[in-house]
Amino acid sequence: MGIEPTRQQLETVARTFALLSSPTRLHLVALAVAGELDVSALAHEAGITVATASQHLSKMRLAGLVSARRDGRRLFYTVDDPHVVMVVQQMFEHIAPDGTLAPDPVRE
């Protein structure tokens, strides 16, 4: 028997994937999965301005995709939801660096 999602689940999952459909947001999440970084470091690594990074991170924080910790005037972002970590990691394992689908792992 397959998954029988509720209407509310479908809508929330669709909103979550819509947020992650932006390459910039997906890059920020992938960076935050790797470890806690402040907005300046995230912006630098993603090749965007701090203002742009802050705007994207704010939306994703409201959606629960990233969390933030304040240290003085700086905000440090991370992904601490194991479900989000797993989805992001699995998607990047599924897509090869050249953008093609990666081959399935050999099962023994």
CATH number, residue 72: 1.10.10.10
Helix, strand, coil percentages (3-state) for the chain, rounded to 5, are 55, 15, 30
pLDDT 10s digits, 13-54: 999 999 999 999 999 999 999 999 999 999 999 999 999 999
Angle (deg, nearest 10), helices 39-46 and 23-34: 120
pLDDT band at 3 (very low <50, low <70, confident <90, very high): confident
pLDDT at 1 > cutoff 60 = no
Helix axis angle for 23-34 and 82-94, nearest 10°, is 110
Q: Answer whether residue 87 is part of any domain.
A: yes
Instruction: With beta carbons less than 8 A apart as the criterion, state whether 30 and 45 touch.
Output: no
Kindly state whether residue 102 falls inside one of the protein's structural domains: no
- Residue 108 domain flag: no
Please indicate, yes or no, if residue 105 is contained in any of the structural domains: no
Domain presence at residue 23: yes
The SS3 assignment for 37 reads strand
pLDDT of 12 over the 90 cut: yes
Domains of the chain: total: 1
CB-based contact 80:22 (threshold 8 Å): no
Per-residue model confidence as pLDDT tens digits over 64-108: 999 999 999 999 999 999 999 999 999 998 998 899 998 777 777
Q: Are 108 and 101 in contact (CB under 8 A)?
A: no
